[in-house]
Amino acid sequence: MKNTFIGTPMERREDLRFLRGRGEYVDDVAMPGLLYAVILRSSVAHGRLVSIDASAALNVPGVHSVITAADMPGGPPIVPMRLQPLPEFKPFEQPVIAHDKVRYVGEPIAVVLASSVAIGEDALDAIAIEIEDLPAVADWRTAAKNQSVLFEKAGTNRSLVFQARKGDADAAFAAAPYVRREQLRTGRHYGLTMEPRGVMAEWDDAKGKLTVYGAAKVPFFNRRILSAQIGLAVEQIDMIENDVGGGYGARGEFYPEDFLIPFAARHVQRPVKWIEDRRENLMAMNHAREEECDLEVACARDGTILAIRGEVHTDMGAYMRTNGAVGARNVSQFMAGPYRVPHVKIDSALWMTNKTPVGTYRGPGRFEACFFLERMIDMIAADLGIDRIEFRRKNLIKSSEQPYPIAHVQPTDARDEYDSGEYSETLDRALKEIDWPKLSKLQGKLIDGKYHGLGAVCFIEGGAAGPKESARIAVNTDGTMSVYMGTSSVGQGVETVFAQIAADALEVPIERIHQVYHGSTAYVSDGYGAYHSRSTVMGGSAVLDATNNFMATLRQAAGKRLGCAESNVTLDVDKVLGGGRSMPLKEFAGLTAEGAFLNKKHTYSYGAHVAHVTVDAKLGRIEIVDYVVVQDVGRAVNPLTLRGQVLGSLVQGLGGAVLEDLKYDENGQFLTGSLADYLLPTATDFPNLRCVVLDDYPSPINPLGAKGAGEGGIIAAGGCMANAVANALSSFGAEPRQLPLSPTYIWELVQAGQRRAAE
Amino acid sequence: MTTKFEVNGKQVSVEVEPRLTLADCLRHELRLTGTHIGCEHGVCGACTVLVDGEAVRSCLILAVQAEGSKVVTVEGLSNDSDLTPLQKCFRKHHALQCGFCTPGFITTAHALLTEEPDCDADRVREVLSGNICRCTGYISIVEAVLDARQFYKGQAAKK
């Protein structure tokens, strides 16, 4: 049989358990003899930790012990960086628990182990902490003064400056007939997962085995970190991935608690569970975004972009975390987006501040870069008297220019190129979907008390981070087959997608792929995880290799037993055929073969967002009348789940565009510690959203032709909404230069426009 | 103290601290882990269960307040043999990804459709706005609930 599961919308296997409440998330796992961990976190943004007295807490009935840095011989271990682990970042990495200083509100100081969470929380109040306050650094400009320094040994609050370079930007600017310069900034967001983080650890002293539940995203990498920190061989540690309630870049990175809980379990020789509450999650999980740029764009009078140049400043929070540098790196490399820009010079500075540390959040640096450049393109097109759509068409990279080299970034020496695509086709399709020519007449019009505006922007999305992914196929005792993966699930539907790919390659009904196992370190020899929109591309390509190796292994084994040439052996649903004979596949139970996909190149899916909004100038309220995303993904494996990725990430992006902002006061006190303060989109906010997924230009760098596509919805949402709002409020001369587009900010833009008009 | 109530059709008697929430009681005392805890301050709706037919945030009431009530969780709205029509609609429209908020949406939607099987899209959105989903963007959830109306209309007719 010849299958076409790839490309067919397939309902998900995962749903059968999730819909019945039968998922098993880490807090759903019970174990006898459990102690519950509760973490005392700093309420001070910056200070010297003078003393910790936990004696009264130990007297609270039900409290087993209190762990602090003093319990860790040799001092608390440091959490090393996973991505861009440059020596320059070393002084800024985070100890797993505070020992000499506290550097942000939320930093762990002590871990209480108790017979229940409630008793542990009671005991927190009984721990006496003395902290000598130091001046807080609550924004990058204060950090840049270096008057109060977070890391005395480093002597500076600037951990690094990434430099993105292409051509000779300074020369291009010197000769340019037109230059526009703007300062723009984005809010502070984070990849809030509906499931807060959780870790459960069990130490078996007799076997010398540590089992850690709650692993996610990159369990193999995290096992290596834990192994080094805790002094065990990697083989002594099993990381178990349970169902994971959302990832978005934030969940599954190695956090302080990923050491503290396994350490506690070994320290007290009891299983220990820690489940984060939402207040903790808001101040302990990686923050993201909060970037500000000072950007110049040089153009010819006909609208050809000649060069871009400028600085970006990222408010990194208190420590360089595992993937903390990605956003600041990406914003420099991808500032040019999907456009042909021959000369690029971007310096991207990373500033340490007394806030929760930064990590990645879906579309890291790309959301910001897209907002910065696309906002400026609308301003520039207006300056030059060129239609803003024509301006984009003129500068979008053409298929004939692919692969297209982009700026390289130092000091990581990251060189890269786009892989394939005719970028203007997605823009044209989006304009057609929304009927742009008809809507154009509404631009800036006041109808029934609301101003109408249109926005159209283009984006590029990177995916498929290497270097490798692994997969294994095995025959089960009942003659079905299972797939074992080195990638992880963060809820995106990989069990279904990998089953589709395996069933197509093996040419069997999809039901023959009994189960897809993923994430835990016991399944394959090596795995790389779920990030950078890599699972389908890297994992899927590894599945293809594994099916090839599996069939070779099966032919070898079956050829002997069927007495025929290996090349004559075929798999037919649940039977193995050859030489006119047949054997049930279950006779080969246990037969297994691993495969891998190695790749150092990246995929680049791309597309366009087009929006029609209305703005109530009095209330500052924005409504979306229609919004279309068109994205070319190279090859759509499961169009049903892909639509979910696009629309889901779009709403996250719209949250960042109009609602979400993590706020601090000037003392570094955290002001958004609940979901009543950090506003997330709900079902009433954005009802009118559509997407079109194309697969016209396959990626040439992997056998599937697929491109990572989990982030395209979020990347362009800020730029598109800001341009649509500017267009709506054009009669006020409003030019939004920051996100989120809160009611207050919209009102300020309108007020400023009215003042200008009155002068 | 001891509290007695009905869960998914079965009488239970649980020894609880007065301060234990119904959510924690269901999850950790009764091992009904389909009810999820996402915020513990009544905003996200992941812990929504039915108490005497009403959709209620189980993180905002104490277990002892459920005394004498009929509580239904996502497990009580499921069966082993097949997905229910509402669950099938969620699956068909891909109205869930990570699955963590899903039990709260199922219980909320069930309560809505039982009461108002003729509700329109605006009403569905209004009622679901008390539940947060971070994966789907809600479009597919609203589609699923609207699609499921037909099955609840049928049920109302049978009654």
CATH code for position A502: 3.30.365.10
Instruction: Round the average pLDDT of chain A to a whole number and report it.
Output: 97
* Min distance B13 CA to chain A CA atoms (Å): 20
Residue A356 has pLDDT above 90, yes or no: yes
Cα–Cα distance for residue pair A496/A515, rounded to 1 Å: 9
Q: Using an 8 Å CB-CB cutoff, list chain A residues near B43.
A: 674-676
Residues A493 and A526 in one domain: yes
End-of-domain residue from the set A598, A624, A657: A598
Predicted pLDDT at A520? 87
Cα–Cα distance for residue pair A254/A79, rounded to 1 Å: 7
Judged by CB atoms closer than 8 Å, whether chains meet at B99 and A14 is answered as: yes
Residue A148 belongs to a domain: no
B141-153 confidence digits (pLDDT tens): 999 999 999 999 9
Residues with Cβ within 8 Å of residue A337, at least 6 apart in sequence: A369, A370, A373, A374, A458, A459, A460
Residue of B nearest to A647 (CA): B137
Residues with Cβ within 8 Å of residue A374, at least 6 apart in sequence: A337, A457, A458, A716, A719, A720, A722, A723
Q: How many domains does chain A have?
A: 3
Residue A219 has pLDDT above 60, yes or no: yes
Q: Using an 8 Å CB-CB cutoff, list chain A residues near B78.
A: 19-22
CATH of span B2-77? 3.10.20.30
The DSSP letter of residue B23 is: H
B2-16 confidence digits (pLDDT tens): 999 999 999 999 999
Angle formed at CA A401 by CA A400 and CA A407, multiple of 5 degrees: 165
CB pairs under 8 A between A and B: 182
Q: Does residue B109 sit at the A interface (CB-CB below 8 Å)?
A: no
* Burial (CB count <10 Å: 0-12, 13-18, 19+), residue A57: buried
Q: Using an 8 Å CB-CB cutoff, list chain B residues near A248.
A: 134
Say which of B98, B102, B129 has its CB closest to residue A19: B102
End-of-domain residue from the set A598, A614, A637: A598
Residues A71 and A206 in one domain: yes
Q: What is the mean pLDDT of residues A215-225?
A: 95
Q: Which of residues 87-106 of B touch A (CB under 8 A)?
A: 87, 90-92, 94, 96-103, 106
The DSSP letter of residue B43 is: S
Predicted pLDDT at B90? 98
What phi and psi values does residue A149 have, to the nearest 5 degrees? -115, 130
Residues A386 and A263 in one domain: no
8 Å CB contact between A489 and A529: no
Predicted pLDDT at A116? 97
Q: What is the mean pLDDT of residues B22-38?
A: 98
Residue of A nearest to B127 (CA): A683
Q: What is the mean pLDDT of residues A183-204?
A: 98
Residue A253 has pLDDT above 60, yes or no: yes
Tell which residue, B26, B24, B17, has the closest CA to residue B40: B24
**Residue A1: band (very low, low, confident or very high) from pLDDT cuts 50, 70, 90:** low
Residue A390 has pLDDT above 60, yes or no: yes
Residues A483 and A583 in one domain: yes
Residues A613 and A590 in one domain: no
Residues A301 and A277 in one domain: no
Residues A588 and A624 in one domain: no
Say which of A24, A27, A689 has its CB closest to residue B137: A689
Residues A452 and A472 in one domain: no
Tell which residue, A201, A214, A221, has the closest CA to residue A272: A201
3-state secondary structure A131-155: EEECCCCCCHHHHHHCCCCCCCCCC
Residue A581 belongs to a domain: yes
Residue A119 belongs to a domain: yes
Judged by CB atoms closer than 8 Å, whether chains meet at A491 and B131 is answered as: no
Partners of A131 in the β-ladder: A49
Residue A414 has pLDDT above 90, yes or no: no
Distance of CA B93 to CAs A7, A15, B34, B140, Å? 17, 11, 21, 6
Does domain B85-158 bear CATH number 1.10.150.120? yes
A478-503 confidence digits (pLDDT tens): 999 999 999 999 998 999 999 999 99
**Residue B158: band (very low, low, confident or very high) from pLDDT cuts 50, 70, 90:** low
Q: Does residue B12 sit at the A interface (CB-CB below 8 Å)?
A: no
Residues A606 and A721 in one domain: yes
Predicted pLDDT at B156? 60
Q: Say what percent of chain A tops pLDDT 70.
A: 100
End-of-domain residue from the set A570, A598, A626: A598
Distance of CA A35 to CAs A95, A122, A201, B17, Å? 24, 15, 10, 18
Residues A484 and A581 in one domain: yes
Residue of A nearest to B82 (CA): A16
Q: Say what percent of chain A tops pLDDT 90.
A: 97
**Residue A34: band (very low, low, confident or very high) from pLDDT cuts 50, 70, 90:** very high
Residue A1 belongs to a domain: no
The DSSP letter of residue A82 is: S
Residues A259 and A311 in one domain: no
Q: Using an 8 Å CB-CB cutoff, list chain B residues near A16.
A: 83, 91
Tell which residue, A624, A754, A617, A753, has the closest CA to residue A681: A624
Residues A610 and A587 in one domain: no
Q: Does residue B29 sit at the A interface (CB-CB below 8 Å)?
A: no
Residue A540 has pLDDT above 80, yes or no: yes
Judged by CB atoms closer than 8 Å, whether chains meet at B98 and A246 is answered as: yes
A321-338 confidence digits (pLDDT tens): 999 999 999 999 999 999
Structure tokens at A735: 């030019």
Residue A8 belongs to a domain: no
Q: Does residue B129 sit at the A interface (CB-CB below 8 Å)?
A: yes
> Where in chain B are the domains?
2-77, 85-158
pTM: 0.97
Residue A691 has pLDDT above 70, yes or no: yes
Q: What is the mean pLDDT of residues A371-395?
A: 98
Residue A170 belongs to a domain: no
Predicted pLDDT at A466? 87
The ipTM assigned to this model is 0.98
Q: Using an 8 Å CB-CB cutoff, list chain A residues near B29.
A: none
Residues with Cβ within 8 Å of residue A339, at least 6 apart in sequence: A305, A373, A392, A395, A396, A397, A458
In which residue are the tokens 């200083």 written? A101
| Other Cβ atoms within 10 Å of A742 Cβ, number | 18
| Residue spans of beta strands (DSSP E) within A278-371 | 287-289, 291-299, 305-315, 343-351
What is the residue range of A345's domain? 287-464+601-758
Residue A212 has pLDDT above 70, yes or no: yes
A694-743 confidence digits (pLDDT tens): 999 999 999 999 999 999 999 999 999 999 999 999 999 999 999 999 99
Rg (CA), chain A: 27
The SS3 assignment for A170 reads helix
Domain CATH number, residue A203 = 3.90.1170.50
Residue A171 belongs to a domain: no
